[in-house]
Structures are given as structure tokens and as C-alpha cells.
């Protein structure tokens, strides 16, 4: 595990040029730092069981590995899920571990890279997120569900195992698994670990050697595509049979690309918001009902106040989403003005400039789901949000985790500064996650809304 880990992250979070410094001797546990150092790529120079890590201030050293352990389970009944594929990702969504496959108890173990201070203690603010895929289940996390950050910064030298609520992952069972198949194969080329795979609207992450498995692929003719910044990967079209696995898919990394997708935003009435972000989601993953989709690692521009750009975008069809992340801002929903529409982007060997986005302050969610997915005791569910002083009324919708509309209603201004409420009558299905969204209406057009990833709840 530790050797393959180093190989997997070489193209993501570690420097291309190795700097050798203090390390433990491979043959003598009590020996002082070695003059030869160790290798971040393959852990050579470290004794068995240790890994080569970056050291703050420069250099590298050999240390006991940090390991994330946990389980994958069915949200409906808590039963363990065998054969799920789990990978650790960094803050940008790039894979930083090998892919682990859960056992019969749904358990997994992942070694993750953790830079150290000069005294060997863990560096501060080491955060990871986890992704899990399994046959017959929705991928986790899939918008609007978000992964809880896994924090390694509080670990002590005697306990380098992370095992808590954030490492147990609940998956939602699909009802259409009888019509789905599985694709397996390999991405060939250099630095292929963590490549983002899309087939029939569902996704996967390649392991360190480029091998991948895409679960829940619709039957029929399907185009399989792969996405990495700065390179094009040649897509292939294959036939998928329901209930079967096709294991001969090969995706070949092609020529480098320097294509840039750029544009600008115009922030109006930001409220509590300040800077925002733009992401490029793969068009095949885009849900036109919920306006959500999946972005490959690095297909994001953050900290934006005006102009933005994303470099090295490979050829393909994307949807640009502004203010999608939780930052107190939303894409302006006012359809009576320009700059508020969803923008399709096609990259074909050259730069693309999008039209300007208009962004405005979001309506604050109060409950449930203001700070992550929140349990509720049952239906009806009282939905509460901040009043918009400029509105005539509100439109309220509730979606389930599949992006299907569960309920639609309206609400009126309660007067003064009181929060606004609406009652979602239910019913609530066991193990299902839901999201409510609200748009404030003025003179028949929407003028603001709640954020894309807030308002998530599930039956307790």
C-alpha cells in the first residue's frame, strides 16, 4: 500500500523534483538520519512499514504512515457494502491515495500522504475528502451531498489512524440496477492515477496504475471519456450489457493541450458574499433539473472577483457553473436579464471565452441543512430560510438524491425580519437524502435563491 501510494500521488501534490534530506535508515531503526535520504516516488531508503514524506522547510524523511480506515454501508438499513471502491482526495478533488476495495464487512484502509514538521510531527491543516463507488449505488459524494473533511492534523505520533464518523460512508441504493452494467479497463500513459472517467453520465476515478471500474453504466452504446488537465485522452465507444461487466476498455493519453477557458463575473448586491468560484462540469454528468454536475479535479477557478480562467482544459463538452460552491453567493436567477443563463462550453483544440456571469447574494438557509446534511425526525419537515426584503413571494422545491422533484410549493413574506417557512409534507424514504431550494420572486421573475449545496436533510 505505501509503495503504491507514493507512485499514485507523484503527479498530484508532490514536487516533480525530489529533494533528499533527513530520513531514517532502512536497516537500523535507531540509526541517525541517512545521508542518502529517501524517495517520494517509491519509498526507497525507508525501512519496511515506513513511508517517505515531505518535511516542512525542504527535504524529506521516513515516518510511520497515516492511515484512514472506515466502512461503507447502505443508508437504508446500515448493512455493509462489499466491493465498493474508496479513494482519498485533496482539497482540489485530486486523488492522493490508491483505490481501496471494501471487504465483506464493508471495511477499507487507505494510506495517505501527510507532510511533517522538522520534528516529525504532522503538519497542520491536513484535510482530505473521501469518494466511494459501488455497483447498484449512487456515488458518494454526488451533489448536493458533500463529503465531510477528514482531518489528520490532530493525530499524535503514537496514533496515526483516522477512524471516526467522517470515514464511514453511506451510499444510497439505486432502483434501476437491473438495467445497468459495469465497465473496467485502463488508462495508458504517464501519471494516469486519479484520472476522471465518465461513461453514460456516471463517473469513476482511476487507480494509480490507470485501472478503473465504472459501475452503473446504462446499457447500450456508451462513449467512455477520460479527463485530466493538460492532456487529451482519446475516447472510445463500447457496448454495455445490463448485469454484465466489460473489462477490456482502454483509454490512451494523447497530445498535450494548453486550451484556456475564461470569462468574467459581475457581482450585484452580494450581501454577505465576497469572492466566488467557477467550475467546469462534464456535460454528460449535468442534471438540467437540479443544475448540478461533476467537475474533474482542477477544473475550477477560485477566489474570483471579476476575471477568471482555467488552463489546460482538454477537448470536450462542459457546462460552466458560477457560484456553485457555498460562499454566500449564487448565479443570479433573474431570467429577464442577460448573463444569468447556464453556459455550455465546447473545447476543440483552442481557447474559449464565455459570456459574463451575473452573481448575487444568496438567501441564507436556516434549517435544515445550513451547515451540512442534517437529520430530521420525520415528515412534515419545516423548511426555514432568510427573508428577502425585495420579494413578492417564494417558490420552494424539494429534490431527492437522484435529482427528482419530490414537491413544489410557495410561501409568502411573514412581515418584518422574521424568517420564512414552508412545510414539506413528505413522505421520507428510509436512507434517502433530500434538498430544499428556494427562489424569491419579484414581479414574476426570480431575483435570488438559496445556495446550490445547502438545505440537505435525511430521515433520522
- Alpha-helix runs per DSSP H in 241-357: none
pLDDT at 35: 32
Q: CA–CA separation, 98 vs 246, rounded Å?
A: 22
Would you say 347 and 261 are in contact if contact means Cβ atoms under 8 Å apart?
yes
DSSP bridge partners of 448 = 440
User: 91, 18, 113, 100: which is closest to 60 by C-alpha?
Assistant: 18
Q: CA–CA separation, 188 vs 357, rounded Å?
A: 37
Q: Which residues contact 106 (CB under 8 A, 6 or more apart)?
A: 71, 72, 73, 79, 80, 81, 82, 84
Would you say 405 and 368 are in contact if contact means Cβ atoms under 8 Å apart?
no
Peptide bond into 368 cis (omega under 30): yes
Query: What tens digit of pLDDT does each residue of 394-442 get?
Result: 999 999 999 999 999 999 988 888 999 999 999 999 999 999 999 999 9
Q: CA–CA separation, 224 vs 237, rounded Å?
A: 6
Q: CA–CA separation, 436 vs 456, rounded Å?
A: 7
Whole-number Cα distances in Å, 403 to 160, 172, 309, 328, 397: 38, 13, 29, 22, 11
Radius of gyration for the alpha carbons in the chain, expressed in angstroms and rounded: 23
Query: What tens digit of pLDDT does each residue of 348-374 get?
Result: 999 999 999 999 999 999 999 999 999
User: 423, 445, 427: which is closest to 436 by C-alpha?
Assistant: 423
**Position 76 pLDDT exceeds 90:** yes
Confidence of residue 159 (pLDDT cuts 50, 70, 90): confident
Q: Is 90 left (phi over 0), alpha (psi -120 to 50) or beta?
A: beta
Domain 260-361 has CATH 2.60.40.10: yes
Domain 365-459 has CATH 1.10.274.10: no
DSSP bridge partners of 185 = 212, 249
Can you identify the CATH homologous superfamily of domain 177-256?
Carboxypeptidase-like, regulatory domain (2.60.40.1120)
Residues of the chain with CATH 2.60.40.1120: 177-256
What's the mean pLDDT in 110-136?
Answer: 88
What's the mean pLDDT in 95-113?
Answer: 95
123: cell is 503538519
Confidence of residue 56 (pLDDT cuts 50, 70, 90): confident
**Position 306 pLDDT exceeds 80:** yes
Whole-number Cα distances in Å, 57 to 19, 22, 117, 119, 123: 11, 12, 8, 11, 11
Residues of the chain with CATH 2.60.40.10: 260-361, 365-459
Would you say 206 and 212 are in contact if contact means Cβ atoms under 8 Å apart?
yes
Q: Which residues contact 266 (CB under 8 A, 6 or more apart)?
A: 306, 339, 356, 357, 358, 359
Query: What tens digit of pLDDT does each residue of 201-255 get?
Result: 999 999 999 999 999 999 999 999 999 999 999 999 999 999 999 999 999 999 9
CA 355-361-366 angle, 5° bins: 140
Largest CA distance in the chain: 77
Query: What tens digit of pLDDT does each residue of 264-299 get?
Result: 999 999 999 999 999 999 999 999 999 999 999 999
pLDDT at 415: 82
**Position 34 pLDDT exceeds 80:** no
Reported as type and span, the H/E element at residue 88 is strand 85-89
**pLDDT exceeding 90 applies to what percent of the chain?**
74
Task: Give residue for cell 485501472.
Answer: 211
Would you say 251 and 235 are in contact if contact means Cβ atoms under 8 Å apart?
yes
Whole-number Cα distances in Å, 414 to 142, 407, 417: 34, 21, 8
334 alpha-carbon distance from chain centroid: 28
Query: What tens digit of pLDDT does each residue of 313-327 get?
Result: 999 999 999 999 999
CA 142-296-432 angle, 5° bins: 5
Would you say 278 and 259 are in contact if contact means Cβ atoms under 8 Å apart?
no
Q: CA–CA separation, 415 vs 37, rounded Å?
A: 69
Amino acid at each position: 500500500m505505501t509503495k503504491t501510494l507514493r507512485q499514485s500521488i507523484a503527479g498530484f501534490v508532490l514536487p516533480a523534483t525530489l529533494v533528499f534530506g533527513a530520513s531514517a535508515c532502512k536497516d537500523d531503526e535507531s540509526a541517525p538520519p541517512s545521508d542518502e535520504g529517501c524517495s517520494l516516488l517509491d519509498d526507497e531508503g525507508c525501512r519496511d512499514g515506513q513511508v517517505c514524506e515531505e518535511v516542512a522547510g525542504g527535504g524529506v524523511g521516513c515516518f510511520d504512515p497515516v492511515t484512514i480506515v472506515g466502512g461503507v454501508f447502505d443508508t437504508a438499513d446500515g448493512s455493509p457494502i462489499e466491493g465498493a471502491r474508496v479513494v482519498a482526495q485533496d482539497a482540489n478533488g485530486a486523488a492522493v491515495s490508491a483505490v481501496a476495495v471494501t471487504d465483506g464487512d464493508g471495511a477499507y484502509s487507505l494510506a495517505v500522504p501527510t507532510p511533517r514538521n522538522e520534528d516529525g510531527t504532522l503538519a497542520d491543516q491536513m484535510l482530505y475528502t473521501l469518494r466511494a463507488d459501488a455497483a447498484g449505488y449512487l456515488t458518494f459524494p454526488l451533489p448536493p451531498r458533500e463529503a465531510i473533511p477528514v482531518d489528520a492534523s490532530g493525530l499524535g505520533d503514537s496514533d496515526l489512524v483516522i477512524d471516526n464518523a467522517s470515514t464511514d460512508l453511506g451510499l444510497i441504493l439505486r432502483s434501476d440496477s437491473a438495467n445497468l452494467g459495469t465497465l473496467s479497463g485502463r488508462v495508458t500513459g504517464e501519471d494516469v492515477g486519479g484520472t476522471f472517467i465518465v461513461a453514460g453520465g456516471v463517473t469513476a476515478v482511476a487507480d494509480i496504475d490507470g485501472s478503473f471500474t465504472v459501475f452503473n453504466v446504462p446499457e447500450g452504446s456508451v462513449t467512455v471519456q477520460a479527463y485530466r488537465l493538460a492532456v487529451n485522452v482519446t475516447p472510445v465507444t463500447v457496448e454495455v450489457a445490463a448485469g454484465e461487466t466489460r473489462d477490456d476498455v482502454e483509454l490512451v493519453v494523447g497530445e498535450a493541450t494548453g486550451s484556456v477557458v475564461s470569462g468574467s463575473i459581475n457581482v450585484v448586491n452580494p450581501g454577505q458574499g465576497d469572492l466566488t468560484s467557477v467550475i467546469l462540469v462534464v456535460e454528460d454528468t449535468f442534471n438540467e433539473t437540479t443544475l448540478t454536475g461533476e467537475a474533474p479535479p482542477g477544473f475550477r477557478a477560485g477566489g474570483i472577483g471579476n476575471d477568471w480562467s482555467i488552463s489546460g482544459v482538454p477537448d470536450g463538452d462542459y457546462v460552466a457553473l458560477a457560484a456553485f460552491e457555498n460562499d454566500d453567493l449564487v448565479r443570479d436567477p433573474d431570467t429577464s436579464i442577460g448573463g444569468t443563463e447556464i453556459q455550455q462550453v465546447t473545447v476543440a483544440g483552442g481557447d474559449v471565452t464565455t459570456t459574463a456571469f451575473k452573481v448575487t447574494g444568496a438567501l441564507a438557509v436556516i434549517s435544515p441543512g445550513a451547515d451540512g446534511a442534517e437529520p430530521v425526525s420525520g415528515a412534515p419537515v419545516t423548511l426555514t430560510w432568510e427573508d428577502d426584503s425585495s420579494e413578492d413571494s417564494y417558490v420552494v422545491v424539494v429534490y431527492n438524491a437522484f435529482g427528482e422533484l419530490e414537491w413544489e410549493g410557495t410561501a409568502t413574506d411573514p412581515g418584518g425580519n422574521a424568517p420564512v417557512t414552508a412545510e414539506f409534507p413528505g413522505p421520507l424514504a428510509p436512507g434517502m437524502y433530500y434538498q430544499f431550494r428556494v427562489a424569491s420572486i419579484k414581479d414574476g421573475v426570480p431575483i435570488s435563491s438559496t445556495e446550490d449545496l445547502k438545505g440537505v436533510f435525511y430521515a433520522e
